[in-house]
Amino acid sequence: MPGREIQVVFRGLPSEAETRGAELRVRLSEGNTVSDLLEKLASASTGKASLVLDPARKTLRPEFLMTLNGRFLEKRLFPFTVLQEGDELEVFPVPSGG
Amino acid sequence: MGERMNGYLGRLANVDLSTGCVREEVLDELTARKWVGGAGLGAKILLEEIPPGVEWDAPENRLVFTAGPLAGTMMFGSGTFNVATKGPMTNLAVISQANGYFGAYLRLSGFDGLVLRGRSAEWVTLWVHDGRVEIRPASALLGLDAWETEDALRGELGVGERDVSVFAIGPAGQNGVRYAAIVGDRGHVASKNGVGAVMGSKRVKAVVASRGAFEVPVFDPQALRLANLECFEAAKAFGTTWKWGTGGGFSNLAKSGALPVKNYTTSLFSEHESMNGQTLRTKFLVRSMPCFRCAISHVKEVTVTEGPYAGFTGEEPEYEQLAAWGPQIGNTDLGATVMLTREVDRLGLDCNEASWAIGWAMECFEKGVFTLSETEGLDLSWGNVEAVRVLLGRISRREGFLGALLAEGVMRASRKVKGPAEQWAIYTLKGVTPRGHDHRGGGRWPELFDTCVSDTGTIQSSWSGIHPQFVDQPPLEDVFDPSEVSRVVGDFAGYRTFDDCLGICRLAAPHPKPLLACFNAVTGWNWTLADAREAGLRVITALRLFNLRHGLDPENERPSARYGSIPVDGPAQGRDIQAKWDEMRADYYRRMGFDPQTGIPTAETLKRLGLEAYAPHAG
């Protein structure tokens, strides 16, 4: 029997050229982690999203950072961070400005 | 003149300001291969010609203007030059870069570099043209700001805007403000570590170079053309500077906690979208002001179209200036950043240090350390841009209590005031001025660390982050891992310093590989990336030897209390870069071939780099 679904918000695609970035609302199974989310997005995404997500490694490209609910989340914690209903994730390029 | 050497004019102009004597010096191939040009030649001259004990304002100090082998070629953005000297903020070495035209025109006038020694009895300007250097009286220019000086000199010489490149000091440099800059070509600056104060101490108001008829010999012009296009494509792929200017990343920096907001008292700035490069270029009138042969053309002039400064025209604020005159002083009016940017350039100040000093003074005013008595009637509440404008003028003239205090820079000012306010100032303990970010957030730990351990008087390896993947090194995966931070800063060291030897704008050529291809096309030397890095490491190590001789204490290679503090809010809240500082510094030293405890380059390192003759204990 499938688990309950949750919905999270993912921002930051595709680039800093668009200051707000695209906003995706993604449905996940309860218990899914940040790594699960990125794998799902990387598998499904094409075009500009691949600027941010590495389709081979199915995670963020090295030159991007991520916040979860406004706080930085280290990449090593992605597999262990279980997402909750309404969580908000945002990615940023490291090379920004000056 | 020496034998023809691809990439070089083969000549340096050596000007003794005390005697008025100009001597030509040959730049031979052995020297060029060892030091390349630009930052490298500057480092060599500092190390060989300025003995310990010489103060920054002594006649024995040198002020060295150098271009590099790519300057003045057909490459996009090849007008860049370096200024090397012993600077007043640190009393140590500085290598500061500026873009525009001067680097190219210096070479087209027949020289790879201009070395100033001594001190002139009267104020002078130096005009480089037709293979010679003319020393001219400058008494009529005294008191003019940097832009007025440019205009006056063009009028005096009877030339048009692009016939000469003029870099001048404003009132700040004339009055010995420690962070005075050298400003030219309408808004370009060599700004770090008080290079303008040194120029003022030598009584040189401006240097001028003509668009001369000399040609830079190029080994393989067709290969250069192709490699230049590769650089251009890399520049377009790197961020959005080509489209939105350096302010294009402003909002991402805001959202990642890397904007300096009210002197680091918070990391939150919700008004960022009304202050970013996208808004600036969408709302204001914009006119291109490209540097020498630049196709990226990110430099603009803008006219404000709304708000209190509607109708005001000035150079477009770069990211640094948006940050300095926006969130750092609590200002949310974009037009005011244009006004203050122009003011700072005209006065000839370093915008970073000026904003750290003024932001600190505003915090002191908010917390009652300064009252209207100390500020002599100025209401220094956050966001009062007109008060900031007045204060900038006072600083440039060292006028009144606060003007004179802040003219010393925020480190010295805060130490003089003492008490809790001493803990609020943002600087490195060496006195180096950080650039305009909150380096505690946004993946900027490498830049904070780099700023503290650098030997160049400014950042050394970082620029818009550090990019180890550009040179096939493992990427920085965890930006808050201290061992990762020291790894990338140490292992990437050398690459950017090599770039700084070349005379090219980094925005036009951000990727080391196509840039190296350009270097090889110009010189014919067929260097590898490893050769390039080794040349960069030689320059850094030479500067470290100079700094150690001149009193560098490795214990000062750390941030001030506020600069290295733990953010109280925002995305990096609670992150502490200082917790493992000593381990990071020792790891960096080890990777650089320095003793992990003392920071002194080891004998093996000096031998490898051909610097044995300069060893700390060598004759």
Chain A positions touching B439 (Cβ under 8 A) are none
Burial label, B3 (beta-carbon count in 10 A; 0-12, 13-18, 19+): exposed
A52 in a structural domain:
yes
User: Which of the residues B255, B355, B472 would you substitute to probe the A interface, choosing the one with the greatest number of A C-beta atoms within 10 Å?
Assistant: B255
A96 in a structural domain:
no
DSSP-assigned letters across all residues of B475-515:
P---TT-HHHHHHHHHHHTTHHHHHTTTT--TTT---HHHH
A22-29 and B11-16 as β-strands: parallel, antiparallel, unpaired?
Answer: unpaired
- Does residue B516 carry a pLDDT above 90? yes
On whether the CB atoms of residues A97 and B319 are closer than 8 A, the answer is yes
Whole-number pLDDT of residue B617: 59
Q: How confident is the model over B10-43, as pLDDT tens digits?
A: 999 999 999 999 999 999 999 999 999 999 999 9
Q: How confident is the model over B329-339, as pLDDT tens digits?
A: 999 999 999 99
Chain B positions touching A72 (Cβ under 8 A) are 256-257, 441, 479-480, 571-572, 575
Q: Tokens for B309?
A: 């400064």
A50 in a structural domain:
yes
A67 in a structural domain:
yes
Taking one residue from A and the other from B, the number of pairs with CB-CB distance under 8 angstroms is: 105
- Does residue B526 carry a pLDDT above 80? yes
Q: What is the largest CA-CA distance in chain A?
A: 52
CB contact under 8 A, A95 and B572: no
CB contact under 8 A, B319 and A98: yes
Whole-number pLDDT of residue B94: 98
Looking at chain A, which residue has its C-alpha nearest residue B273? A19
Q: Tokens for A15?
A: 């680039």
Q: How confident is the model over B565-615, as pLDDT tens digits?
A: 999 999 999 999 999 999 999 999 999 999 999 999 999 999 999 999 998
Output b/e per residue, B458-495; b: 16+ Cβ within 10 A.
bbbbbbbbbbbebbeeeebebbbbbebbbbbbbbbbbb
E strands, B112-251, where?
A: 113-117, 124-129, 132-137, 164-168, 182-184, 188-190, 204-210
On whether the CB atoms of residues B395 and B407 are closer than 8 A, the answer is yes
- Kindly report the nearest CA distance between residue B528 and chain A, in angstroms: 25
Whole-number pLDDT of residue A98: 54
User: Which of the residues A15, A89, A91, A92 would you substitute to probe the B interface, choosing the one with the greatest number of B C-beta atoms within 10 Å?
Assistant: A92
Residue-range domains of chain B with CATH: 11-210 (3.60.9.10), 240-424 (1.10.569.10), 445-509+528-614 (1.10.599.10)
Q: Return the CATH number at A34.
A: 3.10.20.30
φ, ψ (nearest 5 deg) of residue B182? -110, 120
Residue range B225-241: mean pLDDT, rounded: 91
Whole-number pLDDT of residue A16: 42
Partner residue opposite A92 with nearest CB, options B256, B323, B437: B256
- Does residue B381 carry a pLDDT above 70? yes
Q: Which domain holds residue A86?
A: 5-91
Whole-number pLDDT of residue A47: 61
Output b/e per residue, B404-439; b: 16+ Cβ within 10 A.
bbbbbbbbbbbeebeeebbebbbbbbbbbbbbbbbb
A86 in a structural domain:
yes
Q: What is the largest CA-CA distance in chain B?
A: 66
ipTM at complex level: 0.84
Partner residue opposite A96 with nearest CB, options B253, B476, B479: B253
User: Which of the residues A63, A88, A94 would you substitute to probe the B interface, choosing the one with the greatest number of B C-beta atoms within 10 Å?
Assistant: A94
Helix (H) or strand (E) holding B473: none
Whole-number pLDDT of residue B180: 98
Chain B positions touching A71 (Cβ under 8 A) are 571, 573
Kindly compute the dihedral angle of the four CA atoms of residues B190, B192, B196, B201, in this order, to the nearest 10 degrees. Answer: -140
CA distances to A14, B29, B70, B80, B504 from B511, in Å: 22, 26, 15, 17, 12
- Does residue A53 carry a pLDDT above 90? no
Looking at chain B, which residue has its C-alpha nearest residue A60? B477
Residue range B525-544: mean pLDDT, rounded: 98
Whole-number pLDDT of residue B292: 95
- Kindly report the nearest CA distance between residue A29 and chain B, in angstroms: 26
Chain B positions touching A56 (Cβ under 8 A) are none
A97 in a structural domain:
no
Residue range B168-182: mean pLDDT, rounded: 98
- Kindly report the nearest CA distance between residue A97 and chain B, in angstroms: 4
CB contact under 8 A, A96 and B239: yes
CB contact under 8 A, A17 and B464: no
Domain count, chain A: 1
- Closest among A48, A40, A61, A63 to A17, alpha carbons compared: A48
A98 in a structural domain:
no
- Does residue B134 carry a pLDDT above 90? yes
Whole-number pLDDT of residue A14: 54
Whole-number pLDDT of residue A97: 56
Looking at chain B, which residue has its C-alpha nearest residue A75? B478
More confidently predicted of B511 and A50: B511
Whole-number pLDDT of residue A13: 62
A12 in a structural domain:
yes
Partner residue opposite B273 with nearest CB, options A19, A74, A92: A19
Looking at chain A, which residue has its C-alpha nearest residue B464? A95
Whole-number pLDDT of residue A51: 75
Residue range B352-364: mean pLDDT, rounded: 98
| CB within 8 Å of B48: residues ≥ 6 apart | none
- Does residue A52 carry a pLDDT above 90? no
φ, ψ (nearest 5 deg) of residue A73? -125, 120
